[in-house]
Structure 1
Amino acid sequence: MSLTTRQFYRLCLCVALGAAMAACSTDDAGQSATSGADESQPQLADPSAQRADPTRRSIAQGQLTGLVQDNGSLAWKGIPFAQPPVGELRWKLPQTPELWNGTFSATDIIQPCPQFVSGLSAGIADPDGDGIVGSEDCLYLSVYAPDDIPEGERLPVMYWIFGGGNNSGYAGDYNGGELAQSQDVIVVTVNYRLGSLGWFYHPAILEAGATGAAASGNWSTVDTIAGLQWVQDNIATFGGDAENVTIFGESAGGGNVMSLVTSPMAEGLFHRAIVQSGGIGTTTLAQGVNYHDDNVPGHEHSSREIINMILVRDGLAADRESAKALQASMSRDAIRDLLYSQDAAAFLKLYNPEAARNYPAPKKFADGTVFVEQDPLAQLASGNYNQVPIILGTNRDERRIYLYAAMTDVIRNDPDEYIRFAHYPSVQWKWRGVDNLARRMAPAQEAPVYAYRFDWDEQRVSDSGLDMAVAIGAAHSTEMAFIFGDWDVGFISGDALYDPATNPGRDQLSAAMMSYWSSFAYTGETGTGRDGSLPLWQPWRNGDNNPKTLILDSAADGGIRMMTEEVTLDSIKADFMAEQWSDPTNRCRAYLATFAGTPAFDRSEYMGLTEGGCGGR
C-alpha cells in the first residue's frame, strides 16, 4: 500500500483525533474509502437536485441544505463537525461526526458552549436563571459562500475563530455572508469548547494508555484542528479550495490562530494566518494539575485544586487541607467519576463564583504534542513552527472598551487624561501581539509577515452626551465589523456606535479592509488589495526606518498609510515615565494596567511613582 504525504498525514491525524470511521481510512489504491474513486471532495450525487435548491450539497456525513441570505449569499449553519462532547466524551478528543439519514437542514444558528451570561452571549436565553448559557453539545460550524461560483472553480477558504477570552463567545454571532459575497471567498465559522471544559488536565480523566493529544488536556485546541480537518474533507462541495485555507481570528481567537501556527498537529491544514488583537502563550502541565503549594506550584484553579473545591462544596471535606487528604486517598476511578458527574454550570461556578465573563483557569498546555515544550517566543525565533504568510494587527485604542464604563466622569471632565490612561496598556498590546512577534518571525521565515494598526474613531455622541469617539475610539473588537461588513458585530455596535455623517468614510474603509484580507487569502500577499487600487501594504522589515505597520483609517483622518515606528517595552516605559498626569491615582493605575505581568514591572519604581507612593492606591 502506497500513500501520498497528504494521505499519510491525514491518516495519522485521524488516528490522533480518535476517528474510527471509514472517512478516515484509505483503500489499497491510496484513495478515500468513502469516495472509492480519488482524492476529490464529496460531490453532489444528483446535479439536478442542486439546480432545484442551490443550497443542496453532499458531504461525508450525508445530504444537507442551507439557506439563501438577504444579500444573496448562501449559508449552511450549524453543521456538526464532531460528535457532541458530552457524557463519556467530555474531556476527550473530538470524535468523527456520525452519518445522518435523509437531508440535514443546516439553517440553525450555532449555539454557544457553556459560559457565563455576558455581552458576548447577547440573545441567548438563560431560562433557569443560573447565569450560565449554552450546551456542551456545541461542536458545530457554519459555511458561507457567494451565490454564483463558476462550475469547477475553487475559492479561497477563510476559517474564522471567534474571541472572548476563551471563556465566552460563539461562532453563531458572526455571519460571513457579506465577506463571502463581496470578495468571492468561502467563510467558515467554527465553535470550540471553552474554559475549563475546553482545557482541563488530570491523569484520572485520561483513558488507559492515552498518549499524545489524547493525554494533553488541550481539547479545545484540537477542536479547531478537527474543524480544519473537516474543511479538508468537505469544503470543495461548497466551492472552496482545501489547498488554500486562511485561518483568522480576533482577541482570544487571534491567540488561537497563533496556537495553530505553533502547533505541530495543525501542520498542512492551513496556508495563511491573520491574527487580530491576539497574542501567544502556553502553560505547563504542572500548572494545570499540581496543588498551588506543591514544590512545583500549580495554578490556583488547577485540576487538583478544583477537586478540593468540589469536596468542600459537597460537604465531603471541611476545608482545603482535609480535602487534600481525602483526595490523596481516592482511587483514580473515584476521582474520574467525581469529575464526570459534575453538572457543567456548577463546575464552571467553582472557578468564578461572581459569574464574571472571564475567569482564571489554566489553558494551552505545553504537552509536547499539541504544543511544543518550548517558550513560544523562542519557538518563533527558531523558525520551528508552521511558517505561512501572516498578518499581525491590533487596534490603536484596544483598552478603551474595558475602561470607558468606569471612567465616564473622566471622559466628560478630562478627556485628555482618559486618552492618556488608555494609551499605554493599548500600546503594550501592540508590543505583545504584533511588534514582539514580528521582530522574531520576519527573519525566521521566507513568507511575508505583515502588520497593521486599526485607527478608525469617528463614532457618534451618545444619547447621554458621551463622545463615543473618545470613550471607545479604535477599541478592542471594533475592527471586526469592518472585516465582516456587518455593523452589528462587536461589543458595542449598530446605532449605539456609528454616526450617519461619517458612515461613508467608514464604509470605504471597510471595503478596503475586506479587499486587503481577501487579497491575502487569494495570494498570501496583501499588495494593493484585490482590485489593485489601494496603497501598497509592505511586509514588516526589521531595522530603523524600514516599513513596519499599515495604518488603517478613513481618508478624513489621514487615510491608509505605512509607518516605520515600532514599540518595545523599553520605549513604552520611557514614554510613560515622561508623561504628565492630572491625577496621580491614574498614573498608578495606568502603570499596573500597562506593565504588571511583564518584565518591565518594577515594584520599587511603582511604589515611588507619586508623592506618597502607589501602594495604597
Structure 2
Amino acid sequence: MEDVSELYIVETAYGKVSGKAENSAYSWLGIPFAKPPIGGLRWRAPVDPEPWSGTYQATQMPKVCSQYLDYGDNPGFSGTEDCLYLNVYKPINNEQKLPVYFWIYGGGNTAGAAREYDGATIAKKLNAVVVITQYRVGWLGFFNHPALRLGEMTDEDASGNYALLDLIKALQWVQDNIAAFGGDPYVVTVAGESAGAFNVAALLAAAAVKEGNLFHRAIYMSGMPRELSRPLADGDKKGQILVDYFLSNNLEIKNLATLQEIRNYLYSLDEQTLASAFPPDAYFGVLAEDGAVIKKNVRQQFEEGSYHKVPIMIGATRDEYALFACEQKPYLDLYNAARKKIKESEMQITEEQKSDYAILVRIMSRFWRAYSVDELTGLFARHQSGVYGYTFAWDGDDGSLFQFVYGAPHFSEIPFFHGHPDNSETFSFGFSEANLPGRKALSEAIVSYEKEFIRTGDPGNGWQNELPVKWQPWTMGKKSAERISLDADASNAELSLQSDSFTVEQVVSEINSIDDPRMKALIQQIILGWGAKIQCLQ
C-alpha cells in the first residue's frame, strides 16, 4: 500500500487530529467533542472542548463511560467520567461527501462503549464515513433532582437529560467537522440498537435536532420496550429514590436537611459509587420532559406528528426476549448448554419447563415487538412516507439447541447489519462452518439495503438494484406486505415480504388468557419491571 501517512491529519474546528490506516480504512480514535464532564461539569450539558495547539494523536480507543455491569462473564465497575470522545472511520479512497453513519451503542442506558464496534468494517462495507460516539450512562447520564437545579445554569443543564445532550453535542460536532473527514453533513444517518434505538427515538423528539436538522435518516433496531419519556416530577421522584438509598446506607449523612447539603453530597460521590447504585424501583435511563431538551412527551410527539420526520428503517429480531429468558431460573441449563458450557446430556430440565420456556419467549418477544416497534412504526407511517419495517429471523442450524434456546434473539442482528457475520463473539456458539455461506449472503443483502438507504432514504432493491426483493414501505391500512423478513438458510439469503404485525392490545389479550397463574404472573412482572405503561393487564 502506498504511504498515506499525510492523509491521517485532519483539521477540525478545535485543532488538528492525526489518525491511522488499517483494515482498509482510516480511523481517528478518541476525538474529544466536549470538555470532560467532571467536577462542576458533572450533571451539566456538555460544552465545547478547549482548542489545542499542535496535533492531537487520535490513535487510541477512549476509555468507557463510568458503568457497572451486573451481568455477563466479567461483571463489575469500569470506566471514567472523562469519556466524551468519538471515533471516526473512512474507507481508504479519495471520495468526498460520503454519507455519514452515526452509530449509538446499546446497553440499557447503563452500559456500552464505542470500542465494542468495528467501525472500520462498517465504513468499508457501506463506503461511508462512520462516527461512533460515547455518551454518559446510568445516573451520570440520566438524573433529575431539585438539588441539581440550584444556582445559575442553562435550561439544558437543569434538564437531567445529559446522555441525550451528549448525543446532540456529537451530532453538532458532525455538522461542523465531518466534511474534513470526507463526510457529507447533509446526509447523516443515526442508527442504534436496543438502548441505542431508544436514543434514536429520543433524538427524533429532541428540540435541538428539529431546530438544527442534525440528521436525515434513521435506523431503529430492537428498541427497548419501556416508556420513552416521563414528566419531570416523576424523574425527580426517581432521583429521590437514589438519594434515599444513599441516606439509608450511610449513617454519616442522615442529617442532610437542605437541598444544598444534598447537592454537595452528590457531587462528593466518586464515579464508581454512583455507577454501582441500583436501588429498587429507581428505573433510570428514561428521559425527562423538561420543557427544553424534551418539550413534550416523546410518544405524544409521535402520535401527533410533531417529531423530526426522516426516512426510517425500524424493526426487531423475531425472538427478542430469548437472550434474557435463558438466563432465568429454571432455564439456566438451556443457557449453559446452548453456549456449550455443559453437554446437552447434562441438562437437568423437564419437557414441561422447555414448553414453558418456549411460551415465555414467544409471548414476551411479541410484546417487545408490539410495544416498541410495530406501534411506533404505525405512528410514523401515519405522518410520513419512507417508513421501512423489518424482522430479523436468522436462527442458526435447523434442529440445533441454539435454534430452540435463542432463535433470532436480541442483539443478534448487529454483526449482520455491520457486515461481519463471520466474526461475532456474542453468538459465535451459534455459528458453524455449515451456516457460514448463508450468514455471509444475508449480511451482504442487508448491507446492500443499508448502503442504498443511507444515500437515498429508500432501501429499494438494494445498492444499484442488485437484490431480487424490493423492500416496500409500511403503508397505513394496507393489508399486503408491510415489512421485510431477513433470513437465510445454510447457503443463501432468504428475503421475503410479510404482512404480520402485533398490537399491544392483542398481546395483552393473549397474556390475560394464559391459564397457568404462575406463568401469567411472571410475564406481568417482567412487563411492569420494564416500565412499560400497560393498563389492561389482569
Tell me the TM-score normalized by structure 1: 0.77
Assess if the C-alpha contact under 8 Å between 1:480 and 1:489 holds in 2. Answer: no
Q: Secondary structure at the match of 1:278?
A: coil
Deviations 1:37-57 (A, max 9, x none): xxxxxxxxxxxxx95433221
After superposition, the CA RMSD in angstroms is: 2.7
What displacement does 1:571 show? 2.4
**Farther off after superposition, 411-420 or 478-487:** 411-420
Deviations 1:381-430 (A, max 9, x none): 21111011111110000000111233155786535543222011101111
Q: Secondary structure at the match of 1:200?
A: coil
**1:132-281 mapped onto 2 (5 Å cutoff):** 132-150=77-95, 153-206=96-149, 208-267=151-210, 268-279=213-224, 281=228
* Aligned counterpart for 1:114 among listed residues 41, 61, 66: 66
CA distance in 1, matches of 2:426, 2:5: 40
Matching residue of 1:402: 324
Residue identity in the other structure for 2:437: P
CA distance in 1, matches of 2:246, 2:526: 33
Assess if the C-alpha contact under 8 Å between 1:141 and 1:190 holds in 2. Answer: yes
CA distance in 2, matches of 1:274, 1:59: 27
Q: Secondary structure at the match of 1:53?
A: helix
CA distance in 2, matches of 1:382, 1:200: 28
The reply on whether 1:316 has 2:268 as its aligned counterpart is: no
Matching residue of 1:386: 308
Cα distance change, pair 549–416 in 1 and its aligned pair in 2 (3 A):
farther
CA distance in 2, matches of 1:544, 1:179: 34
Assess if the C-alpha contact under 8 Å between 1:392 and 1:433 holds in 2. Answer: no
Cα distance change, pair 516–453 in 1 and its aligned pair in 2 (3 A):
same
The reply on whether 1:285 has 2:238 as its aligned counterpart is: no
Deviations 1:337-360 (A, max 9, x none): 21111111122333359xxxx973
Cα distance change, pair 312–572 in 1 and its aligned pair in 2 (3 A):
closer
The reply on whether 1:504 has 2:406 as its aligned counterpart is: no
Assess if the C-alpha contact under 8 Å between 2:334 and 2:405 holds in 1. Answer: no
Matching residue of 2:339: none
What displacement does 1:141 show? 0.5
**1:478-517 mapped onto 2 (5 Å cutoff):** 478-487=412-421, 492-494=426-428, 496-517=429-450
Matching residue of 1:458: 396
The reply on whether 1:542 has 2:489 as its aligned counterpart is: no
Residue identity in the other structure for 2:261: A
Q: Secondary structure at the match of 1:63?
A: strand
CA distance in 2, matches of 1:595, 1:351: 17
The alignment covers a number of residue pairs equal to: 512
**1:124-135 mapped onto 2 (5 Å cutoff):** 131-135=76-80
What displacement does 1:517 show? 1.4
Matching residue of 2:12: 59
CA distance in 2, matches of 1:489, 1:420: 31
Residue identity in the other structure for 1:484: H
CA distance in 2, matches of 1:149, 1:443: 41
The reply on whether 1:104 has 2:27 as its aligned counterpart is: no
CA distance in 2, matches of 1:164, 1:478: 14
* Aligned counterpart for 2:486 among listed residues 552, 563, 566: 552
Residue identity in the other structure for 1:377: R
What displacement does 1:316 show? 3.1
The reply on whether 1:430 has 2:369 as its aligned counterpart is: yes
Matching residue of 1:336: 263
**1:599-610 mapped onto 2 (5 Å cutoff):** 599=534, 601-603=536-538
For structure 1, the 5+ residue unaligned runs are 1-49, 290-297, 318-322, 604-617
Q: Secondary structure at the match of 1:334?
A: helix
Assess if the C-alpha contact under 8 Å between 2:228 and 2:286 holds in 1. Answer: no
Q: Secondary structure at the match of 1:507?
A: helix
What displacement does 1:64 show? 1.6
Q: Secondary structure at the match of 2:407?
A: coil
Q: Secondary structure at the match of 2:395?
A: coil
Cα distance change, pair 53–276 in 1 and its aligned pair in 2 (3 A):
same
Cα distance change, pair 576–204 in 1 and its aligned pair in 2 (3 A):
closer
CA distance in 2, matches of 1:114, 1:121: 18
Assess if the C-alpha contact under 8 Å between 2:99 and 2:184 holds in 1. Answer: yes
Q: Secondary structure at the match of 2:230?
A: coil
CA distance in 2, matches of 1:134, 1:308: 25
Assess if the C-alpha contact under 8 Å between 2:391 and 2:485 holds in 1. Answer: yes
Cα distance change, pair 349–177 in 1 and its aligned pair in 2 (3 A):
closer
What displacement does 1:103 show? 1.8
CA distance in 2, matches of 1:352, 1:149: 52
Greater relative CO, 1 or 2 (CA 8 Å, sep 6+): 2
Q: Secondary structure at the match of 2:327?
A: helix
Question: What is the aligned-residue identity percentage?
Answer: 33
Assess if the C-alpha contact under 8 Å between 2:242 and 2:282 holds in 1. Answer: no
For structure 2, the 5+ residue unaligned runs are 336-348
What displacement does 1:592 show? 4.4
Deviations 1:83-135 (A, max 9, x none): 1101111011111011222222211122211111356796xxx9xxxx31100
Cα distance change, pair 501–195 in 1 and its aligned pair in 2 (3 A):
same
CA distance in 2, matches of 1:489, 1:477: 14
Cα distance change, pair 359–286 in 1 and its aligned pair in 2 (3 A):
closer
CA distance in 2, matches of 1:224, 1:238: 19
